[in-house]
Amino acid sequence: MSADAGYQFQVNGAPVQVDVPGMRRLLDVLREDLALTGTKEGCGEGECGACSVIVDGAVVDACLVPVCQVEGSDVRTVEGLAPSGDETAADPAFPGPLSPLQQAFLEAGGAQCGICTPGMLMAAQAFLNAGGEPTDEGIREAIAGNLCRCTGYTKIIEAIAMAAERPATAQRP
């Protein structure tokens, strides 16, 4: 990739190009260059998972990924979870503005202060997309890299299990 052309990749299905140093953190590119502030910074060293995003199907901490590493990749953030207008109309099971996973979090009480929520949702969505077995252990393992200080994880696990039972919960990459 030549420096003048910047880095090109996809964010939530849309092509983007950023003209920034290659070692700039994906987290800063998302938050500051692309104004997608849904992805949060909790520790900046890959411990808390608040900045979890999905890159080519895998959950990563955006604070540990330099933007040069996502050249040509498919990046998914919390902003891309909720269906677009067209998708909503096409899915009568979920007429609301939220995805099945988001709706389950809302109903079960999986979000309290909300700061870990975007990262938690991305970790859970990647787990569901991969067809993970929604057992208690399976879900705990899937979100083990995402710290939450409010919920004791109880209702987060409940929400993910609830979402797994619902149709159209897995999302296409």
Partner 1 sequence: MRATAQGTGLVEAPVNAPRPGEVLPGRARGAPLRREGPAKLTGTAKYTDDLVFPGAWYGATIRSTEPHARLLGIDLEPGFDWSKVVVLTARDIPGDNIVSALHDDQPALADDVIRHHAEPVALVAAPDRATLREAKRRVRLRTEPLPPVFDPLQSEQVFASYEIGSGDVEAAMASAHLVVEGEYRVGHQEQLYIENNAMIAVPRADGGVTIHGSMQCPYYVHTALKRALGLTDEAAVVVQEETGGGFGGKEEYPSIIAVHAALLAQRVGRPVRMIYDRHEDLAATTKRHPAIVRYRTGVSADGRLVAQDVEVVMDGGAYCTLSPVVLSRGSLHAGGPYACEAVRVRSRAVATNTPPNGAFRGFGAPQTQFAAEMQVNRVAERLEMSPAELRRRWAYREGDSTPTGQVLRESVAAEEVLERAVEASEFERVRAQTRKAREGRGPSSRSASGIGLALAWHGAGFTGSGEVHLASVAGVELGADAIVRVLIASTEIGQGTNTIFPQLVSEELGVPIEAVEMARVDTSVVPNSGPTVASRTAMVVGGLVIGASRGLRKSVEERTGRTFAESYREYAAQNGALRVDQRFEPYAGINFDDDTYRGDAYPCFGWACAVVELDVDLDTAEVTVRSVVSADDVGKVIHPVMAEGQVEGGTLQAVGYATIEEIKLDNGRYMNDRLATYLIPTALDAPRITAILVEKPYSGVPHGAKGVGELPMDVVAPAVVAAIHDATGVWIHELPATPERILAALGRP
Euclidean distance between CA atoms 121 and 116, whole angstroms: 9
- Tell me the closest approach of the beta carbon of residue 18 to partner 1, in angstroms: 4
Euclidean distance between CA atoms 160 and 127, whole angstroms: 9
Positions 11 through 40 that interact with partner 1 (CB under 8 A): 11-12, 14-21, 24, 29, 31-40
Token pair for 80:
């891309």
How far from chain centre, in Å, is Cα 173? 12
DSSP calls for 97-160: SS-HHHHHHHHHT--SS-SSHHHHHHHHHHHHHTT---SHHHHHHHTTTS--SSSTTHHHHHHH
Q: Does 2 bind partner 1 (CB under 8 A)?
A: no
- Tell me the closest approach of the beta carbon of residue 104 to partner 1, in angstroms: 10
- Tell me the closest approach of the beta carbon of residue 21 to partner 1, in angstroms: 6
Per-residue x/- track, 126-155, partner 1 (CB under 8 A): ----------x--xxx-xxxxxxxxxxxxx
Pick the piece of the chain touching partner 1 (CB under 8 A) from 6-14, 54-62, 125-133, 164-172: 6-14
Closest CA to 144 of 47, 55, 16: 47
Nearer to partner 1, 125 or 170 (CB): 125
Q: Does 66 bind partner 1 (CB under 8 A)?
A: no
Nearer to partner 1, 103 or 169 (CB): 103
Q: Does 72 bind partner 1 (CB under 8 A)?
A: no
